[in-house]
Structure 1
Amino acid sequence: MDQASASRARPRPGLALLLAAATLVGPLIPAAVAVAPPGPGGRTASELADSDAADAKARAAAARRTGSAWLPYWDDVEAAYQDALQHASQLHTVSPFWYEATSAGVKGHDGAGRRRIINGLHRAGIKVVPTVTETLDADAMGDLTHDPQKRGEHVDALLRMVESRTYDGVDLDYEKMAVTGDKAARERVRTGYNALTSDLCARLHARGKECVVTVLARAWGTGEAYDYAHLGKVADRVRIMGYDLHWSGGESGPLSSKGWYEEFLRYATNTIPKHKIEVAFPGYGWDWVKGTVGGAGHVTWKEAEALRKQEGATYRFDAASGTPHFTYRQADEEHEVWYQDAQGVRAQMPLLKKYGVRGTGLWALGFEDPDSWAALRGE
């Protein structure tokens, strides 16, 4: 999963002219000048040293790229794309949220497969690994993954999508199967998903492509539909969603917490090679009507801060969870907003360091507090 990408060399003006002249009049080197004997590939020792230095520089740059991020298709796509380019030095991968798996195959959302975006990210040294979500619940996914023919057809559809563009792999973000059905259905999903990912990852690797899976955190009773140990063996990277501890359909509260991070990181690092783990941070929040359950509205960090300032609400930071929040009144209802910002990322990043995890993720480009990028670097 190293995401290094060498910059593309541009031909220098006049190079073709010089080569033509050399062909006509012979080598442009005076006879009295000593020339170093060529090394491997016909290169001189000096050229080899320069090449080694360039390779070392590229490897060092690649090591600094420890992050990935999702690019949404429904928001300001151009702003999200420019956000990725601006922070290319931190990003090894961008995953456009472009595709959805159904019982009939894989379909693209509006704007999926934009070559200008794919090519621009590649020029910036960023790999493009599109995300595929699924519409099937636990029962339907259990049936699909345990039927060899249906499973094979599903893998074929995913591979066709990968090969439809210059993609570098695929990210499976199959969540519905993990939050529907009863315990028995989710257990069946777990074993079936193991078979699916084994087949898919093997075929992707045979094509030189990457196999990435995005999973719910295994903590406090969630994420049991995912076999972390198996996914850690077959996938190149396992992205853990470090958000939605409290979500739109539940009670109000922080999207994540230090204690929650502690638990899922302890489990993950005991079952998955640490270099394959990424913890994704949120750049958004939820706006609840206080005292109600469910029905919360989604707000990006930018929207949350604009709302807080508009309403004259006091910024509060919950040190126990490591997340900001505020309240305001509207139409005789009191609202409670919990979200994440750079201060919260700085409060939670030490837990990743404690467990030896360097990989980070961001949901999603264009949503976040701009200072979060420095926080993700540990600054």
Structure 2
Amino acid sequence: MAVHVVQSGETLWAISRRYGVSFSEIMALNGLPSTNSLTPGLALYIPRTQSPYRVYRIQPGDTLWKIAVQYNTTADRINEANPTVDLNSLVIGQKINIPTTAKLEMATLVFIAPYVQQAAIEQVYELAGQMTYIAVAAYSFTEAGYAFVQLDDRELVATSNQLGVRPLLMIRNQLNGEFDAELAGRVLGNPQLRKNLVTSLLNLVRERGYKGVSIDFEFIPPPRRNDFLLFLRELKNALGSLILHVNVHAKTEDIPTNPIIGAYDYQGISNAADIVAVMTIDYGYPGGPPDPISPAWWVEQVIVYALTQIRPEKLQIAMALYGYDKIVPDNTTIARSVLSAQNIALANWRPIQFDERALSPVFQYRQNDQEHVVWFEDIRSYIEKYRLIDMYGLMGSTYWQLSLPAPQNWAFVKERINVLKSYE
């Protein structure tokens, strides 16, 4: 198994001997600050061990033989992996475990805000093999609809192209660092301003060497729902063969009047765009009560609904490379990388719990007479998201964002997933 959950009294030396993996490698792949940095409940990624089963959903016309051939395994091995399932009577939608060496194939997109361009470039060099696309969050637009650059990106775009990672120009409806509903509503609702935005985006894409555009317009006023679709169609027509990638808030039903999700017509957006990324993150949101960032049960509900509107080969789900440290009871929120969250538990010798419904880790600690509750992601919760991608046949995942250290995730992707470098 690729994951070892630390038990009380265990040492890194003993874990190293058990798996035949050096403790220095275990430390590096899990971001451990020292050989003594263990706490009960800590999940460690262990390389070169048996992969977790892949999960498959029975489709119409499936037979056990057909599934075995598809995964380069045998019917006997599948039977052994599913001792409580009658595989002679397959039911459509049923989930079964598949023991196989065949890797999940998927496309990834990593967001980056290049506040320090050289640091971003170094991260791209390090993780280029795990990226299909990189979306550079460095653009917004004016009230007259003209896109403009906020952060220096030229060298980053050139490096990405050189390394075979397709850069996308990511544009957001932001003013003073915050999403602005009125800005989106004003530009989307005016045909001339939409034209200004399309034209300026196309010019920037061509000038700076991007392979397409990633749209992240949030809190669009619901009355602009159809105008947003018009904008996407106009932009895709201008882009031609270049990629149009659209990020949308997660939902499990369509509520056209809702101020957060109402403007997103999933089906219409899917028809206009090449890729639709559903933001399956921030279920537990800043300022809200302590909740998991991306509980597996909710992510699956979002996927099930999204697939009624979006073809799976166009659909990505989002993964968080961060967690939220909340001071209770007022829920003051501190955003932390998953590595920082993990290492706070280690520094405070706090046991990590794993919520069996959310399939997410959580711990508590006390500092300056204040109680903190920290929900974050670890190798176990990432594996569960990859299983959902695999099981539902999705295009892949997005990650917010590259500057947030998540060594477990990237080690797993490098070893266990075939990241497609070209996805058409």
TM-score computed with the length of structure 1 as normaliser: 0.74
Partner of 1:141: 184
Summarize the Cα distance change of 1:202–1:82 in structure 2 as closer, same or farther, 3 Å threshold. same
Partner of 2:344: 307
In 2, the alpha carbon distance for the partners of 1:96 and 1:255 equals 23
Partner of 1:31: none
Report deviation, 1:80.
3.9
Partner of 1:83: 123
Partner of 1:319: 356
Partner of 2:297: 259
Which residue among 155, 162, 165 is the counterpart of 2:198? 155
In 2, the alpha carbon distance for the partners of 1:251 and 1:77 equals 35
For the pair 1:213 / 2:254, whether they are aligned, the reply is no
Q: What is the one-letter code of the residue matched to 1:150?
A: L
Partner of 2:225: 190
Q: What is the one-letter code of the residue matched to 1:196?
A: F
Which residue among 262, 278, 286 is the counterpart of 2:316? 278
In 2, the alpha carbon distance for the partners of 1:67 and 1:172 equals 16
Partner of 1:108: 149
Q: Decide whether the 8 Å contact of 2:251 with 2:302 is kept in 1.
A: yes
Summarize the Cα distance change of 1:128–1:280 in structure 2 as closer, same or farther, 3 Å threshold. same
In 2, the alpha carbon distance for the partners of 1:348 and 1:226 equals 23
Instruction: Give structure 2 stretches of 5+ with no counterpart.
Output: 1-103, 418-424
Any idea what SS the aligned residue of 1:118 has? Answer: helix
Report deviation, 1:84.
2.9
Summarize the Cα distance change of 1:81–1:342 in structure 2 as closer, same or farther, 3 Å threshold. farther
Which residue among 383, 386, 399 is the counterpart of 1:362? 399
Partner of 1:173: 216
RMSD value, Cα: 2.2
Higher alpha-carbon deviation: 308-317 or 337-346 = 308-317
Report deviation, 1:64.
4.9
Q: Decide whether the 8 Å contact of 2:339 with 2:407 is kept in 1.
A: no
Percentage of pairs with the same residue: 25
Q: Decide whether the 8 Å contact of 1:345 with 1:375 is kept in 2.
A: no
User: How big is each residue's C-alpha offset from its partner over 1:265-300, in whole Å with a ceiling of 9 and x where there is no partner?
Assistant: 01111211211111120000111112224x311111
Report deviation, 1:139.
4.4
Q: Decide whether the 8 Å contact of 1:241 with 1:279 is kept in 2.
A: yes
Report deviation, 1:233.
1.0
Partner of 1:26: none
Instruction: Give structure 1 stretches of 5+ with no counterpart.
Output: 1-62, 178-184
In 2, the alpha carbon distance for the partners of 1:328 and 1:134 equals 37
Q: Decide whether the 8 Å contact of 1:65 with 1:91 is kept in 2.
A: no
Q: Decide whether the 8 Å contact of 2:246 with 2:275 is kept in 1.
A: yes
Higher alpha-carbon deviation: 87-96 or 329-338 = 87-96
In 2, the alpha carbon distance for the partners of 1:114 and 1:315 equals 42
Q: Decide whether the 8 Å contact of 1:71 with 1:94 is kept in 2.
A: yes
Which residue among 110, 117, 121 is the counterpart of 1:69? 110
Report deviation, 1:332.
0.9
Partner of 1:8: none
Partner of 1:118: 157
Summarize the Cα distance change of 1:277–1:376 in structure 2 as closer, same or farther, 3 Å threshold. farther
Summarize the Cα distance change of 1:160–1:249 in structure 2 as closer, same or farther, 3 Å threshold. farther
Whichever structure has more helix as a proportion of its residues is: 1
Report deviation, 1:174.
0.7
Q: Decide whether the 8 Å contact of 1:265 with 1:352 is kept in 2.
A: no
In 1, the alpha carbon distance for the partners of 2:142 and 2:344 equals 37
Q: What is the one-letter code of the residue matched to 2:166?
A: K
Q: What is the one-letter code of the residue matched to 2:170?
A: T
In 1, the alpha carbon distance for the partners of 2:407 and 2:339 equals 9
User: How big is each residue's C-alpha offset from its partner over 1:183-205, in whole Å with a ceiling of 9 and x where there is no partner?
Assistant: xx41x121111111111111011
In 1, the alpha carbon distance for the partners of 2:170 and 2:142 equals 14
